Amino acid sequence: DTEVTQTPKHLVMGMTNKKSLKCEQHMGHRAMYWYKQKAKKPPELMFVYSYEKLSINESVPSRFSPECPNSSLLNLHLHALQPEDSALYLCASSPTLGGWETQYFGPGTRLLVL
Amino acid sequence: DAKTTQPNSMESNEEEPVHLPCNHSTISGTDYIHWYRQLPSQGPEYVIHGLTSNVNNRMASLAIAEDRKSSTLILHRATLRDAAVYYCILSFQGAQKLVFGQGTRLTINP
Burial B5-26 (b: 16+ CB within 10 A, else e): ebeeebebeeeeebebebbbee
pLDDT score, position A68: 97
What share of chain A in percent tops pLDDT 70? 98
The sign of the CA dihedral B59, B61, B64, B69 is negative
Q: CA of A54: which chain B residue's CA is closest?
A: B96
Instruction: Measure the CA–CA gap between A54 and A76, rounded to whole angstroms.
Output: 12
| Region A1-25 average pLDDT | 94
Question: Is residue A1 predicted with pLDDT exceeding 90?
Answer: no
pLDDT score, position A105: 97
| Region A1-20 average pLDDT | 92
| Region A83-100 average pLDDT | 94
pLDDT score, position A100: 87
Average pLDDT, chain A: 95
Q: Which chain A residues have any C-beta within 8 angstroms of a chain B C-beta?
A: 4, 31, 33, 42-45, 48, 50, 55-56, 90, 92, 97-100, 102-108
Low-confidence ranges of chain B (pLDDT < 50): none
pLDDT score, position A38: 97
Cis bond before residue A8 (omega within 30° of 0): yes
The mean-pLDDT minimum among A2-6, A9-13, B79-83 falls in A2-6
Q: Quick check: B98 and A103 CB within 8 A?
A: yes
DSSP B54: -
| Region A60-75 average pLDDT | 97
| Region A50-75 average pLDDT | 96
φ/ψ region of A27 (left if φ > 0, alpha if ψ in -120 to 50, else beta) reads alpha
Q: Which of A102, A104, A107 sits opposite B42 (nearest CB)?
A: A107
| Region A54-83 average pLDDT | 96
